[in-house]
């Protein structure tokens, strides 16, 4: 899936589902803080929430590891197994020389049919002299 297709599908899901309630988004952000703070490869810097439907949660991390395929796999595994809702999720990974971003939408398909959107950005920590 390319980024344009991801954006189109995300927009369709946002039309079909309701945004997660603000209190729920804040509670969900705490889960991000916990799981990323305890992950071996990532040093959590900041988790913020907003009322913006396109990015409810914004997570910033750094790593001393190489920004390579194995780090991408670890980030994706953490997202899929621990952080995303079990009902449905869609994500896209952007790779740049100095950072990786996992942009997502995850949905609860039962009862209220809600979604949460956001991104997790991992930057390479600068070597300290």
The answer to whether the beta carbons of residues 2 and 82 sit under 8 Å apart is no
HSE-up of residue 104 (Cα within 13 Å, Cβ side): 23
Domain boundaries, the chain: 3-64+76-106
HSE-up of residue 43 (Cα within 13 Å, Cβ side): 8
For strand 57-63 and strand 114-124, is the pairing parallel, antiparallel, or unpaired?
A: parallel
At 129 the pLDDT is: 42
Q: What is the pLDDT of residues 31-83, one digit of tens each?
A: 999 998 888 899 999 999 998 999 999 999 999 899 999 999 999 999 999 99
pTM for the model: 0.91
Q: At 56, phi and psi to the nearest 5?
A: -75, -35
């Amino acid at each position: 899936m390319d980024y344009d297709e991801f954006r189109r599908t995300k927009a369709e899901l946002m039309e079909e589902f309701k945004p997660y309630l603000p209190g729920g988004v804040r509670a969900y952000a705490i889960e991000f803080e916990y799981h990323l703070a305890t992950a071996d490869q990532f040093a959590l810097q900041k988790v913020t929430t907003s009322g913006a439907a396109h990015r409810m949660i914004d997570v910033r991390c750094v790593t001393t590891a190489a920004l390579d395929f194995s780090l991408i796999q670890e980030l994706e595994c953490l997202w899929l197994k621990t952080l995303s809702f079990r009902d449905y999720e869609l994500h896209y990974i952007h790779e740049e020389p100095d950072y990786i971003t996992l942009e997502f939408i995850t949905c609860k398909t039962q009862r209220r049919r809600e979604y949460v959107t956001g991104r997790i950005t991992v930057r390479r920590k600068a070597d300290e002299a």
